[in-house]
């Protein structure tokens, strides 16, 4: 049974990140997600991409930084570097939903992850670079205007120790590493694909049970070249770090070719008929 008061949520502030959001949304559909699919966009996102997004997501919601509450002006004037960070915090304003799972636009779902809705705020997986911090690419949260306000206040008062949402969220939900093991999501819900793991036997043992892959870092799947003929990304220069990463990239591109590119074609044909 679909659950209409819970949602998977992602964010795209430009047309490039929309490509990631589209593949993520499609991967959730392919694995029969039973919650609503929501994408937050900012005014920079083009009309074409909004139409494409609406073919995959149940809701495309514009979050407009300028029109929003005063906290945001405040934070922006003082700390312009927090731009994208504060945009992510907008997910707490989705109060029509009782619980949500946020996924970065550079994540890819490999199996059904509806069981994440059994968790409560604030649940996240450890960051591979500093495991006492959580990685903010995948998290379970409960929308609340009060929490949203407190987060923005925290941003204006303290900023973010890494200049991004992850530092801010870690200092706000600072008891995450010690308080409640239920709030530690298993690492397989946020496996960074491009980390050169120093514990390679563990990666050998558990890497293949990953449920969500996260392409964190500066090289995103859409930065690679892909050959539809071979079904493989082209490895050149500083290519993928391991065989798993190559197959995750190929998976991402396979979805893009099979399910996303045809949407653009369909929309173009519809336009020609009107």
CB of 44 to ligand UDP, least distance (A): 9
How far is it, in rounded angstroms, from Cα 62 to Cα 39? Answer: 9
Q: Return the number of the residue (137 or 143) whose C-beta is nearest Mn ion.
A: 137
Structure tokens at 200: 């390679």
Contact 125, 185 (CB under 8 A): yes
The residues, ordered by sequence, that sit 6+ positions from 97 with a Cβ below 8 Å of its Cβ are 5, 6, 7, 36, 38, 143
Interface positions with Mn ion (CB under 5 A) = 104, 106, 137, 216
Interface positions with ligand UDP (CB under 6 A) = 10-14, 17, 84, 88, 104-106, 137, 216-217
Contact 152, 89 (CB under 8 A): yes
The residues, ordered by sequence, that sit 6+ positions from 170 with a Cβ below 8 Å of its Cβ are 133, 134, 136, 161, 176
Q: Return the number of the residue (106 or 127) whose C-beta is nearest Mn ion.
A: 106
Q: Return the number of the residue (81 or 180) whose C-beta is nearest ligand UDP.
A: 81
CB of 273 to ligand UDP, least distance (A): 32
CB of 7 to ligand UDP, least distance (A): 15
Contact 18, 45 (CB under 8 A): yes
- Taking CB within 5 to 8 Å according to partner kind, which of ligand UDP, Mn ion, none is near residue 239? none
- Taking CB within 5 to 8 Å according to partner kind, which of Mn ion, ligand UDP, none is near residue 17? ligand UDP
CB of 137 to ligand UDP, least distance (A): 5
How far is it, in rounded angstroms, from Cα 176 to Cα 186? Answer: 14
Sign of the C-alpha dihedral computed for residues 100, 75, 132 and 192 taken in this order = positive
- Taking CB within 5 to 8 Å according to partner kind, which of Mn ion, ligand UDP, none is near residue 191? none
Residue nearest to ligand UDP according to CB distances in the complex: 104
């Amino acid at each position: 049974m679909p659950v209409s008061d819970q949602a998977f949520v992602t964010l795209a502030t430009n047309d490039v990140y929309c490509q990631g959001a589209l593949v993520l949304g499609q991967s959730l559909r392919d694995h029969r997600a039973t919650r609503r699919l929501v994408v937050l966009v900012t005014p920079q996102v083009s009309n074409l991409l909004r139409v494409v997004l609406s073919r995959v997501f149940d809701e495309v919601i514009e979050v407009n930084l300028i029109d929003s509450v005063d906290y945001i002006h405040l934070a922006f004037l003082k700390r312009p570097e927090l731009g994208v960070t504060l945009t992510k915090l907008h997910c707490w304003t989705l109060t029509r939903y009782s619980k949500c799972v946020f996924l970065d636009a550079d994540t890819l779902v490999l199996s059904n992850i509806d069981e994440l809705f059994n968790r409560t705020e604030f649940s996240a997986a450890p960051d591979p670079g500093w495991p006492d911090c959580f990685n903010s690419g995948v998290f379970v949260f409960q929308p609340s205007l009060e929490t949203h306000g407190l987060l923005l206040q925290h941003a204006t008062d303290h900023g973010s120790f890494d200049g991004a949402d992850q530092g801010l969220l870690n200092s706000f939900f600072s008891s995450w590493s010690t308080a409640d093991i239920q709030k530690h999501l298993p690492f397989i819900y946020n496996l960074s694909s491009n980390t050169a793991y120093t514990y390679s036997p563990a990666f050998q043992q558990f890497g293949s049970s990953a449920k969500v892959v996260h392409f964190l870092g500066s090289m995103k799947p859409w930065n690679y070249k892909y050959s539809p003929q071979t079904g493989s990304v082209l490895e050149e220069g500083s290519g993928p770090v391991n065989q798993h990463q190559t197959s995750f990239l190929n998976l991402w591109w396979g979805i893009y070719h099979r399910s996303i590119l045809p949407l653009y074609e369909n929309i173009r044909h519809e336009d020609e008929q009107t």
